[in-house]
Structure 1
């Protein structure tokens, strides 16, 4: 029986993607023509599965994969003080700063989806993310005060950020010197799309690539079957499958409030920060999965929908024609909803 791959919502200390056999099957050694390349980047895991590639190509492919991911890390990691985005964040002025074409594309996408989610999906929310302990700064020892939150919110807002194209390249500009851009909500999809682009450039037509919780597939696996991706149930139990999909050449990403958290003052603090309140979300939507033409789009939309909450997320998904799978928690009971567009990818759903 073909393998499925489990996609999980983020957590700080666990791998975000793991190979999983469907229930009732035992793991077999992969066929000789299957190749798996994996490792760590961005503080998470990456995985490249390809079929029909000669073993002799492995060293060169491994090197190319690493080069792509390390380049992305040098551009968008807020954990690297010398990254392109870190230098932009430190810049004390408001003059336009040069960025790569890829960075311009992903930031433009984030700004557009930010507008479509009524400002909820906000890549300038970095000061609040750091304040609550989910950025490069350390976890706070006590809950931030109302004054600290208000001060941080003064340095947040998509309206303060502009991308422009000129004859001499792409430029990023802030009109607020203290603006802090955090691309962690889109970075996994961004890097996953770049791995997919690398496969296409090398003439590889059958692959599954993933960085953290973002996945993109093309073609078939080594058994000649479509790649199957399993979405994890929004619980703390490992490898509990909520649904299984065939991506059909699309990207997928899940955002959830139930894994990436810490305990502070007796409360569970989610990593998803609402820019309107300056505080972690507390609503009943616990998981949002999006399938989109690219992993970047899926990775950007899932966070935006999580921030909106169930009712608003459903309204936006319907308006935009999105392939979404939402899970809401009521006490110990979970309720799921999938859009008609998502159902077209569904292979199986656990009830």
Structure 2
């Protein structure tokens, strides 16, 4: 056999070896080790961060745009800062007009009304006019406390019992202004979590403006760790660290958003019953719940209730919570038995 024929006879084996190597390389690339993928950005007047565990590069490349699109849709539905949002258009309608709500707005409003009823009105999505009056809403900041007559006048427009929700149809029996800022971020977290789960993600940590939801564990099988901030103005300190899995987490406090006049601090958390910012000693509440929207609303309700009533409410409703209460020197903690199981000692 000539030298040329011998070389030609070797080529099929060489080609087969090269093809086998290429196939092995491709398969190895598709089965990379799971790692944490992250995406973040602005939303709802704050920021968001989404982390998930994945080994699918193609899916990871698609998810950021889908997350962004979803959060824009939530904001377009529930923002009070956006004048053309679904909620803003409803607030501009006259009282007595029945209107069909989107599925998401229906779900959020239904949950809000349930928590309003269970908390005897401490959580109230119609408190918006008073929030605006005190300078904590879309109308902008104030430097002076409003007078008593202004507060009394606006209190006539406050009360969840003026909202009638039947199926997906809403009827405001008075000209109430609905503000979902104490539950919408939690709902946004839940929707992103749902998006991830529908994409096959089984481990993630979703956060919007400090409200979170966690599922599964990290690639090293450790739990997601969350730092609970100490309610100290002007600095960042960690009060507690918790390990979480399959739970929604939300914190409400009076130590970041406030203004002072004549030595008096006015919190952004408004008590619907008085029309005034809260004045009790409860500094912050962290709530754990099966979903983040519930945790978000429950934390606000408990902040309005104050330490004694909030503790009784948590026990009655089976809410797992950590309360940080102002003392003569520093703070004291009160937590439900179930919350202790999440602490990192």
Q: What is the TM-score normalised by the length of structure 1?
A: 0.86
Partner of 1:215: 212
Alignment of 1:55-204 (within 5 A): 55-165=57-167, 170-176=168-174, 178-204=175-201
Q: Which runs of 5+ in 2 are unaligned?
A: 1-32
How far apart, in 1, do the equivalents of 2:95 and 2:295 lie? 33
Q: Deviations over 1:147-190 (max 9, x none)?
A: 0000110100011002111xxxx1111000x2100000101101
How far apart, in 2, do the equivalents of 1:304 and 1:324 lie? 12
Q: Deviations over 1:212-256 (max 9, x none)?
A: 121001111233311111111111254421112222200000000
Report the count of equivalent residues: 313
Runs of 4+ in 1 over 4 A off after TM superposition: none
- For the pair shown, the structure with the greater C-alpha radius of gyration is 2
1:296 counterpart SS class: helix
1:242 to 235, 239, 243: 239
How far apart, in 1, do the equivalents of 2:125 and 2:206 lie? 24
Instruction: For CA contacts below 8 A with separation 6 or more, give which structure has more relative contact order.
Output: 1
2:52 to 45, 50, 53: 50
2:183 counterpart SS class: helix
2:176 counterpart SS class: coil
Partner of 1:315: 312
Contact 2:34 2:55 in 1 (8 A): no
Pick closer, same or farther for the CA change 1:71–1:270 going to 2, 3 Å. Answer: same
Alignment of 1:301-340 (within 5 A): 301-340=298-337
Which protein has the bigger helix share?
2
1:271 aligns with 2:268: yes
Pick closer, same or farther for the CA change 1:265–1:59 going to 2, 3 Å. Answer: farther
How far apart, in 1, do the equivalents of 2:283 and 2:95 lie? 39
2:280 to 275, 279, 283: 283
How far apart, in 2, do the equivalents of 1:306 and 1:75 lie? 26
Contact 2:34 2:53 in 1 (8 A): no
Q: Deviations over 1:244-282 (max 9, x none)?
A: 222220000000011111233443221100011101001
1:231 aligns with 2:231: no
Q: Which runs of 5+ in 1 are unaligned?
A: 1-30
2:72 counterpart SS class: helix
How far apart, in 2, do the equivalents of 1:32 and 1:320 lie? 39
Partner of 2:203: 206
